[in-house]
Amino acid sequence: MEIWLVFVFMFSWHLLINAFSVSVPKEKYKACYGSNVTMECSFPVGEKLDLGALTVYWDKKGKFLVKFVQGEEDLKIQNSNPRLRHLTDQLFKGKSLLHITNVKVEDVGAYRCLIGYGGADYKWITLTVNAPYSKINHRVNVDPVTSEYKITCQSEGYPKAKVIWKNGEQDLSSKATVTYSVGQEKLFNITSTLRVNTTANEVFQCFFQEKDTGKNTSAQIVIQEKTESSNIDLRTYFGTLGAVIFFGLTLMFLCCRKKDVRMIDIEKKCLSRQQQQQFPRQRTPI
C-alpha cells in the first residue's frame, strides 16, 4: 500500500512541477545468467546536489528494491536482497544506478525508478535474462528387441528453447518426443528423444533453438557400428528371458506334481478308512 501512496504523491508532484525529468540511457537491458548488470536512471542536479532534498525509489512488481530518502538509505530493504545494490556514490553525477550481481531468472521483469528532486518523474526499465543451452548431453541406446536406435539430447537454459532434429537436410523433429521441467533456479531442463531405424555411420544433429533470437546450439551424433558387446548384450537379454521362462515352467510343473501327490495320498487314506468300516477287525475269544 505504501508504494502506491508514494507513486500518487510523486505523480502529483510531477504535474505541479513538470520541468524536472528523469531519463534512461537504455529502456531494455539483456543480461547473461550468472553475470552482473547495472541499470541507470539519470536526473538533473544543477550546480551541486543537495542530498537532503533527494528522494529515490526503485521497485519491481510493487515491491521496493531501493528506498533512498533525504540522504538516508533504507538498510532493511537494502539487506533483503544482497545481490542488489544502489550505487549512491553516483548520485552526485545525477545518476541512480541499480547494480545486480549473479543475475538469475527471477530478476527478469520491469523495474521502475522514481526520483524526486525539486520535481518528480519516473521511468520504466525492462530486464531480460538469457542462459544459453551451451552444454548438450547426448547418448545412444539400441532396443534389444526391435534393434531401433534411441537417440537422446538433454540441456538446460533459459528461456524455453525449441528442439530440432536433422539427418542431413531431412527434418525429423516431428518424430521426436520432448519433455520439459523447471528446476529450482527456474532454468528449463529439456530432454528430447528420437527413435529411428538407421545404420552405422549415419549422422544426426539436435539443435536447441532460442525462440526469441533464433540462435542455435547443436550437437552431432554419429551412429557407431554395433560392437561385440552389443551382440553379447543381445544374447544375454534373450538368454535371461529364456532362463526366466524355463524356471517359471519348471516351478509350475513341480507345484502341479506336488498337488497330484497330495491328492493320491488323500485318496489312499479315504480308501483305507472305507475298508476298515466295511471289514472291521474281529476279536479272538480267549
pLDDT in tens, 32-68: 999 999 999 999 998 899 999 999 999 999 999 999 9
pLDDT at residue 172 greater than cutoff 90: yes
Element (H, E) at 237: helix 228-278
* Rounded Cα distance, 84 and 106, in Å: 13
pLDDT of residue 60: 97
pLDDT, tens digit, 9 for 90 and up, residues 229-283: 444 454 555 556 666 676 667 677 665 565 554 555 545 554 455 555 554 544 4
Domains of the chain: 2-130 (2.60.40.10), 137-227 (2.60.40.10)
* Rounded Cα distance, 207 and 200, in Å: 21
Q: Positive or negative, the Cα torsion across 57, 60, 61, 65?
A: negative
Q: What is the mean pLDDT of residues 72-89?
A: 94
pTM over 0.75: no
* Rounded Cα distance, 115 and 98, in Å: 13
DSSP 129-180: EEB-----EEEEEE-TTT--EEEEEEEEEBS-EEEEEEETTEE-GGGEEEEE
